[in-house]
Amino acid sequence: MQKIIDSAVTELIRIIESKQYSRKVAWQFVLEELDAAKDGADFIQDRIKSFYIKSSDYIGAMSKSWNDVEGSGGPQQFLLHLAITLSERMGIENAAIVRISIVEYIIHHYKFGRYFVDEKFESAKKPLNLFQIIPEETKLNPNYKSLITEESKSIRDVICRWASGFEDRDNKFNYEFQTTFNSSFWEIYLYQCFKDLNLLVDFSKASPDFSIKSIKGEVVNVEAVTANHAYDSEPEWSSSESTISDHQKFLDFACVRILNAIKSKHDKYVNSYSKHEHVKGNPYIIAIAPFEQKFFFMQNNEAIIRVLYGQGIDSSNGFQEIKVPIVMKNSSIPLELGVFTNDKFKEISAVIFSTTATIGKAITQSKLERDIRVSRFHEIKGLITEFKPNDKHFETHLDGLQVHHNPYAKVKLNKEFFNKYEVTHYYYDTEKEIIDNQQKSYTIISRNIFPSSKESS
């Protein structure tokens, strides 16, 4: 069966590449195949979900075809004839498996959907020079130090690609990336997100951090912030062998630091940003990445759910959903949670959040030999865990990104603004007090990086 798939894929690529607009033909061919298969057997429908292509992209695609795709010399006719032959020889179900497998190989070859990586380098008038070391060595952040080793060359290449096109507006970015790291890294990650979403960043606007525009002309302003460790707490880059001994305390600390970050950027909007003409009347988003403690990435969405909606899970009581109206700061000061359950933060249109936007994200886009353990969401199966070598693991740059919409926002964020399969959107029903989590099957919940098993074999 694999020989049939390999042979068919080779011929399909040859056919597609013979067309004038080969990538456009390839994309239309994929959409038509998914459109034709969308009502197939359950396992076919589930396989389609793993491709990270929105149903709105492929439903009705067959009615929009043209000769290069469906004509006698096009890929569609080739695969159709092959599918008919296979059905006669091995039965309809096996033929369907081969056909959808062929489509996936085409998706992989052209880097569509789940396999998409934007490998373009863009130019800038004042480009960043992240790895031309500026400060003395004692001031270098430990995370930055880990990137300037010989082994990390491929990771540096990925980060430089993300940063390509980024304008160094204040001549401080390189220094801050090397000394404080996390906040600058988060901005670079976000910038590549915007490029992947075909959003244009207007670097002529000094603040907030990003003024972005869609192809329809909609303007959204994004302020990036990281939740950092407290002055008297252990930083996330610590080399100590400490572990999470108390999950509740771990979550409480995360909530306090995230809440502090939101409040600071809300105050910044009220006191400063709201006066800018490009901000007035447009959505204002706070983009938060948590780096507040060791193992911060293990909070997944638990802390942000508590901060924004005042809800949580009681792991000691059968994982029951519970109300979490407050969090205790320093075990003595109660702080109100549920930022999006009232209008106190109505100036915030949405919050962007991710625990997967780490150096690990860059590693998955590099050629570094590592093993990847990833947990994925599935609407029926629940949690799916995979353990693969890096060259067999695929996740997009946007995978793991969450967008939380504020129901009380004065200026709502258009639901279509960050519309990609792997971006998870959250909405809150104020009457029923229910969170609508719109995460789609096979998208990432968490990821861990391990030394490659090849190195020890």
Q: Which two tokens stand for residue 290?
A: 């948590």
CB 395 within 8 A of CB 449: no
Where b means 16+ CB within 10 Å and e means fewer, 264-287 reads ebbebbeeebeebebbeebbbbbb
Residue 54, pLDDT score = 96
Q: Answer yes or no: are the C-beta atoms of 408 and 346 closer than 8 Å.
A: yes
Cα–Cα nearest to 384, from 452, 447, 320:
447
Compute the distance between CA of residue 29 and CA of residue 9 in angstroms, rounded to an integer: 13
Per-domain boundaries in the chain = 2-115, 193-456
Residues 6+ apart with CB under 8 A from 282: 218, 219, 220, 221, 411
- What does the pLDDT read at residue 320? 83
Tens place of pLDDT for every residue, the chain, 457 residues?
899 999 999 999 999 999 999 999 999 999 999 999 999 999 999 999 999 999 999 999 999 999 999 999 999 999 999 999 999 999 999 999 999 999 999 999 999 999 999 999 999 999 999 999 999 999 999 999 999 999 999 999 999 999 999 999 989 999 999 999 999 999 999 999 999 999 999 999 999 999 999 999 999 999 999 998 888 888 888 877 777 778 889 899 999 999 999 999 999 999 999 999 999 999 999 999 999 888 888 889 999 999 999 999 887 776 788 899 999 998 889 999 999 999 999 999 999 999 999 999 999 999 999 999 999 999 999 999 999 999 999 999 999 999 999 999 999 999 999 999 999 999 999 999 999 999 999 999 999 999 998 765 4
Give the Cα separation of 37 and 421 in Å (integer). Answer: 18
Give the C-alpha separation, 268 to 163, whole Å. 26
Read off φ and ψ for residue 258, nearest 5 degrees: -65, -45
Pairing of strands 402-405, 350-353: antiparallel
Helix (H) or strand (E) holding 179: helix 173-179
Looking at residue 246, its pLDDT comes to 83
Residues 114, 108: Cα–Cα separation, whole Å: 8
Residue 198 falls in which region: left (phi positive, over 0), alpha (psi -120 to 50) or beta: left
Number of Cβ within 10 Å of residue 19's Cβ equals 18
pLDDT of residue 295: 85
Q: Are the C-beta atoms of residues 364 and 372 closer than 8 Å to each other?
A: yes
Q: Tokens 């700061």 — which residue?
A: 329
By CB atoms closer than 10 A (0-12, 13-18, 19+), residue 108 is middle
List the structure tokens of 277. Answer: 């003409």
CB 344 within 8 A of CB 390: no
pTM of the full predicted structure?
0.95
Q: Tell me, what's the pLDDT at 456? A: 55
Residue 58, pLDDT score: 97
